[in-house]
Structure 1
């Protein structure tokens, strides 16, 4: 099979990344509005802590199974079957995977509904001392857990569409999730005896809406699955073989964040919510660029490996890293500097008070340092999975997870919830560093000499941006004392000024857009 022209590959990567980034931007904006509504209506106390744990458990498993391990195992196998055996084999694989996935996740969901209190005890043991939080979290988990099956099938449909170069529909579905949850918080909550239960129903409804939205584009390419479980299918076995250890590889950062929640459940009320708001803000640049790039390059890397095109494989990684470093470093620095202004502008309304702003901002400052590392993981891990190498990232993932727990125990007692955020940052850099070391040692990818000049230019531009942000950002009291829309306006202007100064500085030191081309 001949390789596509270089210009075609470059254009396709940029076009697909733009589509995913645009849809992700809409999703993240809707997500911020969702969280603003939640915090305004319910604050950062016991009730919100209970919901966040009930939401985080299936959401964590979604990222671990559906968007993490399953996607990383399914897409390379699907790409290989498509390239080697054609459409009939693809349809058979889709039917068998759909049935098998439904049977597995459906069974897990049924067990989880029955044993919801035990699951809450495992993931938030600190709640045991507070009967209200514990019982409420268990009740909400029974409603939210079926979301895992719905969103797993949504991710399955998205993997098919991405393999066929259709990124728009799968990238837009999170917007529907946020809109569903906002609607339930505003209109359903006042009708319930326990208003916050509406948020749990919003999670379940959003899963139904997202899955339904994927069916039309699947029908357009004649790949709507027929659910036929078949665990004897060699390709299904191959996916499961790749999937089980992959859970510890690409999704290790999510495991670390969930472990943070376990420890936070022992801290003062509100700690889970403070960590949640910090994580949500770091997900804005991570989703906009990191996840978007990872989503786009996995099918490309899988195809290049199937075609045995090593040069194109390395070129795709190099292109992704340029985009990641260009955006990830300034995002990390800016979010650390603007942590309190961002928290005050977005969440300082209603029940979310000054203490919540300060505590959440402290967590964000510690977690913002890891934005670049989280993005690098999103590029390095798929490079292994596209080659169906699960052992290396699994080994590294386990090392990073153990290191995270050590950092947690070292830091949590002195820095409390901030120590948990800092531990996540440190373990993320360890994970990214070891993944790169593995790529380098196996001869898959290594930084070439052109990165020296590129890194120097990026460093100078970031220094200019930091200087501008520090010069124009008002002090903490200003952000806490001024009205909401004034804060939002100023933070938007400051962000725009920082971005403009960074872009102009890049041009001034000699950087040109053509340096981001796929080589």
Structure 2
């Protein structure tokens, strides 16, 4: 998203652009945040490997993964989508007022003083209620679970994340609005290290409860990772003697119920796909929930990397929307969708071609056997069909909520997608088992993505739907060709699965590149140049 356009708009409108990351800073932030995201993703795989090796894909891991629903929901609502969609525009607005110096006091500190104590108190109460109601929560999430008592214990341990993730998300949003992305990108490194450490240290004594305790410990480490930067950067300005505190601006994107409700309900409805999956999988044989989880964790890695593009540029979009630069916002959103879609489609091709090899290399050891590998790989290939939809939903929700005003359309689109997921899940789980659940997920999220793209122009940013569709169709065809080539070539490489996977990491990108070039897809052909241009020249 073009920093140059934002600055031009700011000058035209009289809005200060101080605090907008410059080109070198944005380039370094993007590279550094992407690097930390990769490290965190690798540690996440180590975490999942530890759980798979120690507990396999049986009732113990199923119980933990039901409890894992709590931090999954909390992370989406409080760290990533929900908190960011609310607070990045709010802090961006406060920073603009601080830079303009049009009022006494510090608008940023006033925003913190007005929101942080109430948010923390509300989240602490919600966490306490979750601890008390854990048996009922487990009963609702997974009524067919073999050992609900174990899941209840794990849920109570993970319930602390309702508070700790909320604080982490608050700090992260504030830092991102200030143009600081490294510390927020590093929180999941601390989180995963906490889980891995506690699991390895206590599993012989506490069983799978050690992993749940690690979730709680890791979430505290997340706060400690951000606290120094938050205090130094966000609260650094001292109020001069005799200066009055800043007053709350009624025109700012406030965090009242009118703005809060659409964002929260949208994020909950998006994450509710996981509830539907685990509800349906709990009635299948032991390990079904685990197979779904491990398949999603690996398949989502390309999506995580593609979403970093939108995460880094979201504060710039928020300021462009606030300054009225609609044309610049349109160009930036279209380019983000094309680039993020190309990245995730390349990853999708690798997953489709080499799912069994990926699962075998990453998880097949200890209690996780060859049968688990085959089941997880099958689920992964079906689930990968929805990766583009997941990426588009994550990217499209940002321009909808960038202006800080109420909008209910994303919730309606996501609700329609959730209905498709639930209906298809109930219809397909019987004949197809866990593969049917994964197919329902892909179908539902793709429905939501299409509806959000079609509605964006009239409600937020006037993107050209046909242009966006064309920019995604060509790399999608290239991904289909690359995935098919990988699937045909994978069994031909002799020896261990790691050798076949290594060959695939060369074959799939090569076929993807050649096919994209033949189709005339500039986003795929010039992807490295686009990444450099995107974060160094702002266009």
TM-score in terms of structure 1 length: 0.88
* Partner Cα distance (2:7, 2:499) in 1: 46
CA 1:165–1:206 in structure 2 vs 1: closer, same or farther (change >3 Å)? same
CA 1:47–1:453 in structure 2 vs 1: closer, same or farther (change >3 Å)? closer
The answer as to 2:335 corresponding to 1:319 is yes
Structure 1 residue 250, shift from structure 2 partner: 4.4
Structure 1 residue 18, shift from structure 2 partner: 2.8
Structure 1 residue 389, shift from structure 2 partner: 4.1
Does the 8 Å CA contact 1:83/1:306 hold for their aligned counterparts? Answer: no
User: 1:487: which partner in 2?
Assistant: 497
- Aligned residue for 1:473, secondary structure, equals helix
The answer as to 2:49 corresponding to 1:49 is no
Does the 8 Å CA contact 1:125/1:262 hold for their aligned counterparts? Answer: yes
Structure 1 residue 501, shift from structure 2 partner: 3.8
Structure 1 residue 323, shift from structure 2 partner: 1.0
User: 1:155: which partner in 2?
Assistant: 169
- Aligned residue for 1:238, secondary structure, equals coil
CA displacement, residues 260-285 of structure 1 (integer Å, 9 cap, x when unaligned)? 11121111111110110011012211
User: 1:282: which partner in 2?
Assistant: 299
Structure 1 residue 11, shift from structure 2 partner: 6.3
* Partner Cα distance (1:163, 1:180) in 2: 27
What are the residue-to-residue correspondences of 1:436-515 with 2, within 5 Å? 436-442=453-459, 444-447=461-464, 454=471, 458=475, 461-462=478-479, 465-466=482-483, 468-474=485-491, 486-503=496-513, 506=516, 511=522, 512=526
User: 1:80: which partner in 2?
Assistant: 93
Does the 8 Å CA contact 2:78/2:165 hold for their aligned counterparts? Answer: no
* Partner Cα distance (2:134, 2:409) in 1: 34
Does the 8 Å CA contact 2:83/2:173 hold for their aligned counterparts? Answer: no
* Partner Cα distance (1:496, 1:243) in 2: 46
- Aligned residue for 2:45, secondary structure, equals helix
Does the 8 Å CA contact 1:250/1:393 hold for their aligned counterparts? Answer: no
CA 1:209–1:455 in structure 2 vs 1: closer, same or farther (change >3 Å)? closer
User: 2:452: which partner in 1?
Assistant: 435
* Partner Cα distance (1:417, 1:496) in 2: 31
User: 1:104: which partner in 2?
Assistant: 122
Cα-Cα RMSD: 2.9
Structure 1 residue 15, shift from structure 2 partner: 4.4
- Aligned residue for 1:221, secondary structure, equals helix
CA displacement, residues 431-459 of structure 1 (integer Å, 9 cap, x when unaligned)? 11000111133472333776687557535
CA 1:456–1:411 in structure 2 vs 1: closer, same or farther (change >3 Å)? closer
What are the residue-to-residue correspondences of 1:231-270 with 2, within 5 Å? 238-250=255-267, 252-270=269-287
User: 1:229: which partner in 2?
Assistant: none
Structure 2 stretches of 5 or more lacking a match?
Answer: 10-19, 100-104, 238-247
CA 1:458–1:116 in structure 2 vs 1: closer, same or farther (change >3 Å)? closer
User: 2:13: which partner in 1?
Assistant: none
Structure 1 residue 469, shift from structure 2 partner: 1.5
Identify the range of structure 1 (246-255 vs 502-511) with the bigger mean alpha-carbon deviation. Answer: 502-511
* Partner Cα distance (2:460, 2:198) in 1: 51
* Partner Cα distance (2:303, 2:143) in 1: 29
The answer as to 2:224 corresponding to 1:212 is yes
Does the 8 Å CA contact 1:250/1:381 hold for their aligned counterparts? Answer: no
* Partner Cα distance (2:95, 2:440) in 1: 42
Does the 8 Å CA contact 2:481/2:511 hold for their aligned counterparts? Answer: yes
* Partner Cα distance (2:253, 2:378) in 1: 45
* Partner Cα distance (1:245, 1:258) in 2: 20
User: 1:345: which partner in 2?
Assistant: 361
Identify the range of structure 1 (59-68 vs 319-328) with the bigger mean alpha-carbon deviation. Answer: 59-68
User: 2:158: which partner in 1?
Assistant: 144
| Correspondent of 2:320 among 287, 291, 304 | 304
User: 1:201: which partner in 2?
Assistant: 213
Does the 8 Å CA contact 2:342/2:472 hold for their aligned counterparts? Answer: no
User: 1:372: which partner in 2?
Assistant: 388
Structure 1 residue 32, shift from structure 2 partner: 0.7
Identify the range of structure 1 (367-376 vs 174-183) with the bigger mean alpha-carbon deviation. Answer: 174-183
CA displacement, residues 223-246 of structure 1 (integer Å, 9 cap, x when unaligned)? 289xxxxxx996696344322221
User: 1:176: which partner in 2?
Assistant: 190
What are the residue-to-residue correspondences of 1:403-418 with 2, within 5 Å? 403-418=420-435
Structure 1 residue 302, shift from structure 2 partner: 0.8
Structure 1 residue 57, shift from structure 2 partner: 2.0
Structure 1 residue 378, shift from structure 2 partner: 1.2
* Partner Cα distance (1:377, 1:161) in 2: 24
* Partner Cα distance (1:247, 1:443) in 2: 18
Q: How many residues align?
A: 500
Does the 8 Å CA contact 1:96/1:233 hold for their aligned counterparts? Answer: no
Structure 1 residue 416, shift from structure 2 partner: 1.5
Structure 1 residue 341, shift from structure 2 partner: 1.6
Structure 1 residue 467, shift from structure 2 partner: 5.2
CA 1:111–1:458 in structure 2 vs 1: closer, same or farther (change >3 Å)? closer
Does the 8 Å CA contact 1:21/1:289 hold for their aligned counterparts? Answer: no
Identify the range of structure 1 (64-73 vs 501-510) with the bigger mean alpha-carbon deviation. Answer: 501-510
| Correspondent of 1:135 among 143, 149, 154 | 149
TM-score in terms of structure 2 length: 0.85
Structure 1 residue 338, shift from structure 2 partner: 1.6
* Partner Cα distance (1:110, 1:488) in 2: 46
| Correspondent of 2:38 among 3, 8, 25 | 25
Identify the range of structure 1 (369-378 vs 77-86) with the bigger mean alpha-carbon deviation. Answer: 77-86
The answer as to 2:7 corresponding to 1:4 is yes
Structure 1 residue 105, shift from structure 2 partner: 0.7
Does the 8 Å CA contact 1:253/1:424 hold for their aligned counterparts? Answer: no
Identify the range of structure 1 (171-180 vs 437-446) with the bigger mean alpha-carbon deviation. Answer: 437-446
